Structure 1
Amino acid sequence: MSPLLLLTRPLPQSRRFAREAASTLPPHEPLIAPLSQVVALPFDPAVFAGARGIILTSASAVPMLPPLPGLTAWCVGPATARAAARAGMIPRQGGGDAAALIATLTGAAPEGPLVHAHGVHLARDLVRDLAGALPGLTLRSVAVYEARALDWPPDVVPALTGQRVFAPLFSPRAAQRLAAQSGIMDVTGLTPVAISAACAAALPPALAERTPIAGTPDAGGMLRALAEAMSHPGTVG
């Protein structure tokens, strides 16, 4: 029986990842069961007045923005860069995580103002860190969306029981949301796969100890880690 690929990101991201997984992973069955949904937040578009660039740490921010054609978009990774390009911005890609993006920006020393458009829940305060690395650069920050928590309907956990289940987790909050679902700790065939060590550390020890970590903090790294886990069950890299 093919294993299940449990996708818990918001619906658009889960569907996109399911398409990528279908062409790269060993045979599996996707099960999309979101644990969050992205909701637009009101904000004053004047925050972008005079901006020389925008900082994007998630593709989820892009649909919430006003039209910004031709604006340089400093993007955390390839998925965010593709979303920015589709919206008419000029993407500059970072190295896949916030630390690499900060290093890219520090090396480029762009002119400001720069605006960080982000979600309510920040894994790292880029504006604060960039202010220390690039003194004198004008930086602004605006929350344009919120990833609001969802709980599973009661039929999800029973559907996992008795199956080999692989669950890609892309943030510490996603790991916490998965662990909070009633009955999930009883799914003995569950293998979470974490985007980072911080993500794995957010899981209870019983799950964290069987959680592989992606070699690079991006979709490609996650797919490679999933492929390895599916091909060699019971190992943690």
Structure 2
Amino acid sequence: MTACVLITRPKAQAAAFASALQVAHGEPLRCVISPLIEIVSLKVEGAFDDVAHVVFTSVNGVNEARRVGILQGIPAWCVGSKTAKIAMNAGFDVRIAKGDSRSLVSLIAGKSPKGRMVHVRGRHVAGTVIESLDAVGIHCEAVMAYDQVAVMPTQAAIDVLRGENPVIVPLFSPCTAKLFSQIADFNAPLHLVVMSDAIDVQSRDTRVFSRVIAGNGAGLGMLESTLAAYAQFSP
């Protein structure tokens, strides 16, 4: 009884995670990619040439920052290592938190940066970065640069969910977790791997055999936890 990993991230990120799983596993591993959201850029008003600091809580935010004209080279406060890597490749001067919004706020608060700060984000976000920064006296503007539009699951995803073999489902965002919880027609034993407590809350309506919150909020923790679940349910 071989398990399957069902990856519901946006297409490019899903493909990258599937590839990382295969490399880390070292042998064939069945993955089904079925994005439940599509990233759609939004029209953004205003000028950003005076921005001194930018906050990134996702790779999508980095991509959109370049589109709206935020200058490269300025300090970028990144939630985790994967986002930081993309930001560094895009020309930003990165600072790296420990993979969750709480550590990101703590990192920024500890340095008390001066000048205009913006958080480039989607319509749906995990955590309360701006509110938490405001509570410690640091003003940060929200730049809503993209939307996460719901997408129907693929037939391949429906087939594995209706099957009898275990399905490992890593969930990386509250938005995706909520959408996945709305899929009612499944028979397979589900094993969720969620990246944070906030995501876990949104997945609580999903009937599962097991769930685990990744020990490390960043991508490495999700990779390790997903592989551990796959090994457990693929004897």
The answer to whether TM tops 0.5 is yes
- What amino acid maps onto 2:183 in structure 1? Q
Distance 2:185 2:53 in 1: 45
For structure 1, list consecutive stretches of 5 or more residues without a partner in the other structure: none
CA deviation after TM superposition for structure 1 residue 9, in Å: 0.6
The match for 2:120 among 117, 121, 127 is 117
The match for 2:175 among 144, 169, 173 is 173
Q: What is the correspondence of 1:116-135 to structure 2 with a 5 Å cutoff? A: 116-133=119-136, 135=137
Distance 1:144 1:205 in 2: 29
Q: What is the correspondence of 1:45-124 to structure 2 with a 5 Å cutoff? A: 45-46=46-47, 48-65=48-65, 66=69, 68-124=71-127
CA deviation after TM superposition for structure 1 residue 19, in Å: 1.4
Secondary structure of the structure 1 residue equivalent to 2:82: helix
Residue in 2 aligned with 1:10?
10
CA deviation after TM superposition for structure 1 residue 219, in Å: 1.0
Distance 2:229 2:154 in 1: 27
CA deviation after TM superposition for structure 1 residue 2, in Å: 4.2
Residue in 1 aligned with 2:44?
43
1:2–1:28 CA contact under 8 A, matched in 2: no
Secondary structure of the structure 2 residue equivalent to 1:106: helix
**Compared with structure 1, are the counterparts of its residues 142 and 155 closer, same or farther at alpha carbon in structure 2 (3 Å cutoff)?**
same
Distance 1:2 1:232 in 2: 10
- CA offset digits 1:176-213 (Å, max 9, x no partner): 211212413x223x211111233223224563561122
2:79–2:96 CA contact under 8 A, matched in 1: yes
* Alignment coverage as a number of residue pairs: 229
CA deviation after TM superposition for structure 1 residue 94, in Å: 1.0
Residue in 2 aligned with 1:217?
217
Residue in 1 aligned with 2:200?
200
Q: TM-score, structure 1 length as denominator?
A: 0.88
1:52–1:71 CA contact under 8 A, matched in 2: yes
CA deviation after TM superposition for structure 1 residue 56, in Å: 0.6
**Compared with structure 1, are the counterparts of its residues 209 and 112 closer, same or farther at alpha carbon in structure 2 (3 Å cutoff)?**
farther
**Compared with structure 1, are the counterparts of its residues 17 and 45 closer, same or farther at alpha carbon in structure 2 (3 Å cutoff)?**
farther
1:192–1:207 CA contact under 8 A, matched in 2: no
For structure 2, list consecutive stretches of 5 or more residues without a partner in the other structure: none
Distance 2:196 2:50 in 1: 36
